[in-house]
């Protein structure tokens, strides 16, 4: 028999990157008195991962819970809040947490309006039948236009196929940084209107407390003392500590388990409890082999819940053992066995990732949802002490029933100044982009919407930022697969490649600087085949950056000291991945990131280029 648990609400907060989602959660936690009055709390407290703080984005979905008093029903209501990533590359996180909640808060910037990644997450929520509360944030911005944004949001709901009930959404206006909300742009001093909207409009979970236990595992964590922690929602029945369980694996086999340690969320932490009932989000520790998508059920009546469906990856890279001359110097883990174990371990918690072994035992094919998705994995592994090398990202092609090759396309939203619009249009045209919309924004900028092959966007972001002098804004979302378009030239420049091993010196670098921009200054150890800069022309140029000037007298020696070099271009991990050419590899260690050629020997590389030209001519 189904009953409503009016003492619980399960809600996810979804928004585009930098629209204030994590800041709003901070305000909700403060006003629910989760922190002590004298407690020092960092900003964006939910972004607990170092990478999240550095990049200012949410990568992993996280759970928290607050309790507020409902005057209407005269009871304390617990609100389980899930903070979701706003970037489409981490859509796998969003797709699985939608199974845990009954409604969503859709956060929209009062000036920018609904953005591409808002569309992606909202579509998933509407498909699951969730009710949404629209929160128009940053109403204090100088260029805020709440009425226009509200109309755009309504249009988006209709476009995504929302039902009449879903399209009749309540609207809350807010300023997350000040912890203020209101039913109109005239805000109150607190978030009470938002809390009240959650209680009135997010449905209470409908559960069957008498039915057999069923829990769907939606994410995994790790406890230093109690091992793997499985997070999920109880769909029916109840669970007690030490209760026997049946773990239904993805292939349908049943494994006996036991509920050793049981937790529920309260504030930013977890509280150990003896039992929990349907409708609650719980964490179970001590289940070592459990995987996302599996069901924990009553052993007397084991019934599996529908598994979590996650969209397929669109981009892949090879991860291999480091083969450079510097291999083994800087990393803690570098063998193929360690690399393999780490990549396959990642699959347990990263549901949208795929790892496949190749013909060579020291190379693995890793597929993800985008360049950023794979870059975060690479950065995480290097911080853990791993040393390895990766290839240039490439798109994953499909084939239709008629035998046509299909490739992934992305919807690209660009906002730039009118002065740089022509340059951006030309760049996207070269990359086979098709313009869908173009209009002038209220602040005088130009907003463009393109459909571009994912292949054309690989390595584009850095060139785009350079062309727009860092002022352009670009957001992308997966659009679907379509017939493959023609060839795309990704880079018009080549690389400056080190001729011999040694330490860079001023004299050698000055000669190299005349031919392009450098990645390294003097006093850096390099090896043959290592990329030390970007050549200003197509093709690669081998150059000796370790060449010293032969000194004959003191005057020439002093003059050499006066050599002035342009500061080298500091390449981040993301920029290095974008820069890679077909015949490049990226050496990744905890200490450094180095771009290198697949074939390090200059003579062997030259023979291969010559052979390729001969084949083209014939």
CATH of residue 254's domain is 2.40.30.10
- R_g over Cα of the chain: 27
Q: Is residue 158 part of a domain?
A: yes
Of 281, 297, 313, the residue that ends a domain is: 297
Element (H, E) at 104: strand 103-109
Mean pLDDT of 551-571: 66
Residue 40 has pLDDT above 70, yes or no: no
Tell me the pLDDT tens digit for each residue of 145-161. 899 999 999 998 998 88
Say if residue 188 is in the same domain as residue 46.
yes
Domain harbouring 418, CATH code: 3.30.70.240
Is pLDDT above 80 for 311?
no
Q: Is 45 annotated as a binding residue?
A: no
58 and 181 housed in the same domain? yes
Cα 374 from Cα 341, distance rounded (Å): 17
Choose among 24, 35, 129: nearest CA to 81.
24
Assess if residue 380 is contained within a domain: no
Distance CA 295, CA 292 (A): 9
d(CA 295, CA 284): 12
pLDDT at 478: 82
Q: Output the six-digit token pair for 595.
A: 């771009």
Q: What is the Cα–Cα distance from 496 to 493, expressed in whole angstroms?
A: 10
Q: What is the mean pLDDT of residues 528-549?
A: 89
Do residues 243 and 119 share a domain?
no
One domain for residues 154 and 270:
no
* Domain endpoint, select from 252, 269, 297: 297
Q: How confident is the model at residue 424 (pLDDT cuts 50, 70, 90)?
A: very high
What mean pLDDT comes out for the span 8-15?
Answer: 88
Check the annotation: does 140 bind a ligand: yes
Closest Cα to residue 433, out of 458, 459, 456, 467? 456
Could you tell me the two tokens for 382?
């290097």
Over the stretch 175-230, which tens digit does the pLDDT of each residue have? 988 889 999 988 888 899 999 999 999 999 988 888 899 998 888 777 777 878 88
What kind and span of H or E run contains 395? strand 394-395
Q: Are both 197 and 218 inside the same structural domain?
A: no
Model confidence at 73: pLDDT above 90:
no
Q: Is position 106 within any domain?
A: yes
Q: Does the annotation list 314 as a binding residue?
A: no
Q: Are residues 293 and 408 located together in one domain of the fold?
A: no
Whether the pLDDT of residue 118 is over 80: the answer is no
Per-residue confidence band for 36, with pLDDT thresholds at 50, 70 and 90: very low
401 pLDDT above the threshold of 60: yes
Mean pLDDT, rounded, for 355-379:
90
Residues 244, 128 within the same domain? no
Residue 586 has pLDDT above 60, yes or no: yes
Tell whether residue 601 is among the known ligand binding residues. no
The whole domain housing 444 covers 398-483
Lowest mean pLDDT among 22-36, 79-93, 284-298, 388-402: 79-93
How many domains does the chain contain in total? Answer: 3
Residue 92 in any domain: the answer is yes
Q: Which helix (H) or strand (E) holds 226?
A: none
pLDDT at residue 59, as a whole number = 53
Of 483, 503, 536, the last residue of a domain is: 483
Q: Is residue 287 part of a domain?
A: yes
Residue 50 among known ligand-binding residues: no
Three-state DSSP state, 324: coil
Residue 50 has pLDDT above 70, yes or no: no
Q: Determine which helix (DSSP H) or strand (DSSP E) holds 158, and give its type and residue range.
A: helix 146-159
pLDDT at 46 over 50: no
606 domain residue, yes or no: no
**358 inside domain:** no
Q: Which residues in 164-294 belong to E strands, given as ranges?
A: 171-175, 180-182, 206-207, 214-223, 227-236, 238-240, 244-248, 254-258, 261-266, 269-272, 275-277, 281-285
19 is in an annotated binding site: yes
Digit-coded pLDDT (tens) for 492-507: 788 999 999 999 988 8
Task: Specify whether 32 is located in the same domain as 89.
Answer: yes
Rounded to 5 degrees, what are φ and ψ at 318? Answer: -95, 135
Q: What is the pLDDT of residue 90?
A: 59
Please tell me whether residue 504 adopts helix, strand or coil conformation: coil
Whether residues 21 and 138 share a domain: the answer is yes
Whole-number average pLDDT of the chain:
84
Question: Is there a single domain that holds both residue 107 and residue 10?
Answer: yes
Q: In whole angstroms, what is the distance from residue 27 CA to residue 50 CA?
A: 21
The reply to whether 138 sits in an annotated binding site is yes
In this predicted structure, which of 39-43, 278-282, 333-337, 539-543 has the lowest mean pLDDT?
39-43
For position 112, what pLDDT does the model report? 84
pLDDT computed for residue 86 by the predictor: 55
Confidence at 529, pLDDT banded by 50, 70, 90:
very high
Mean pLDDT of 79-99: 70
pLDDT (tens digit per residue) in 257-294? 988 899 988 877 788 899 999 999 998 988 878 888 88
Of 18-27, 133-142, 521-530, 558-567, which range is least confident? 558-567
Same domain, 194 and 240: no
Q: pTM for the full model?
A: 0.76
Residue 314 has pLDDT above 60, yes or no: yes
Q: Rounded to the nearest 10 degrees, what angle do helices 460-467 and 421-430 cross at?
A: 160
Query: According to the annotation, is 64 in a ligand binding site?
Result: no
Percentage of the residues of the chain whose pLDDT score is greater than 70: 90
Q: Do residues 67 and 164 share a domain?
A: yes
Q: Give me the CATH number covering residue 81.
A: 3.40.50.300
Q: Residue 556's pLDDT is what?
A: 52
* Secondary element (H or E) of residue 461: helix 460-467
Residue 402, pLDDT above cutoff 80: yes
Q: Does residue 309 belong to any structural domain of this protein?
A: no
């Amino acid at each position: 028999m189904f009953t409503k648990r009016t003492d619980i609400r399960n809600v996810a907060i979804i928004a585009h990157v930098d629209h204030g989602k994590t800041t709003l959660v901070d305000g909700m936690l403060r006003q629910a008195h989760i922190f002590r009055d004298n407690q020092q709390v960092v900003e964006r407290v939910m972004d607990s991962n170092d990478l999240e703080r550095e990049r200012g984005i949410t990568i992993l979905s996280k759970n928290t819970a607050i309790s507020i008093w409902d005057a209407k029903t005269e009871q304390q209501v617990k609100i389980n809040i899930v903070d979701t990533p706003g970037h489409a590359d981490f859509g796998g996180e969003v797709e699985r947490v939608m199974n845990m909640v009954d409604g969503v808060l859709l956060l929209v910037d009062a000036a920018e309006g609904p953005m591409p990644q808002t569309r992606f997450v909202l579509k998933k929520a509407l498909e699951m039948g969730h009710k949404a509360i629209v929160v128009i944030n940053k109403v204090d911005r100088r260029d805020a236009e709440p009425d226009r944004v509200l109309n755009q949001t309504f249009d988006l709901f209709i476009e995504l196929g929302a039902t009449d009930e879903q399209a009749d959404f309540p609207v809350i206006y807010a300023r997350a940084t000040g912890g203020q909300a209101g039913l109109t742009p005239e805000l109150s001093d607190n978030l009470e209107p938002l809390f009240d909207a959650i209680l009135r409009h997010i449905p209470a979970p409908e559960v069957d407390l008498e039915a057999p236990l069923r829990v769907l595992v939606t994410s995994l964590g790790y406890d230093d003392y109690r091992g793997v922690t499985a997070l999920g929602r109880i769909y029916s029945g109840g669970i007690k500590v030490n209760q026997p369980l049946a773990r239904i694996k993805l292939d349908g086999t049943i494994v006996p388990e036991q509920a050793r340690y049981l937790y529920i969320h309260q504030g930013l932490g977890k509280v150990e409890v003896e039992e929990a009932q349907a409708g609650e989000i719980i964490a179970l520790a001590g289940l070592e082999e459990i995987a996302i998508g599996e069901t924990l059920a009553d052993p007397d009546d084991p019934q599996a819940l529908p598994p979590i469906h996650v969209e397929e990856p669109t981009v892949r890279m090879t991860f291999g053992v480091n083969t450079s001359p510097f291999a083994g110097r800087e990393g803690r883990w570098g063998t193929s066995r360690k690399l393999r174990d780490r990549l396959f371990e990642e699959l347990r918690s990263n549901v949208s990732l795929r790892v496949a072994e190749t013909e060579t035992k020291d190379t693995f094919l890793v597929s993800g949802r985008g360049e950023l998705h794979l870059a975060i994995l690479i950065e995480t592994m290097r911080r853990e002490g791993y040393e390895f090398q990766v290839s240039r990202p490439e798109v994953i092609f499909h084939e239709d029933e008629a035998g046509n090759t299909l490739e992934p396309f992305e919807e690209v939203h660009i906002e730039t100044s009118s002065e740089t619009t022509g340059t951006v249009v030309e760049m996207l045209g070269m990359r086979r982009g098709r313009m869908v919309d173009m209009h002038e924004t209220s602040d005088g900028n130009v907003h463009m919407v393109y459909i571009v092959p994912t292949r054309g966007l690989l390595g584009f972001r850095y060139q785009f930022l350079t062309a727009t002098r860092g002022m352009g804004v670009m957001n992308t979302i997966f659009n679907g697969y379509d017939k493959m378009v023609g060839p795309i030239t990704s880079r018009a420049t080549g690389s400056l490649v080190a001729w011999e091993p040694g330490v860079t010196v001023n004299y050698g670098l000055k000669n190299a600087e005349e031919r392009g921009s450098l990645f390294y200054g003097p006093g850096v150890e390099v090896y043959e085949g290592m990329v030390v800069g970007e050549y200003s022309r197509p093709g690669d140029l081998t150059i000796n950056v370790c060449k010293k000037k032969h000194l004959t007298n003191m005057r020439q020696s002093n003059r050499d000291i006066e050599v002035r070099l342009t500061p080298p271009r500091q390449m981040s991990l993301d920029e290095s991945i974008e820069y890679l050419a077909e015949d490049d590899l990226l050496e990744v260690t905890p200490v450094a990131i180095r771009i290198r050629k697949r074939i390090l020997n200059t003579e062997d590389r030259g023979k291969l280029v010559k052979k390729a030209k001969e084949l083209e001519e014939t």
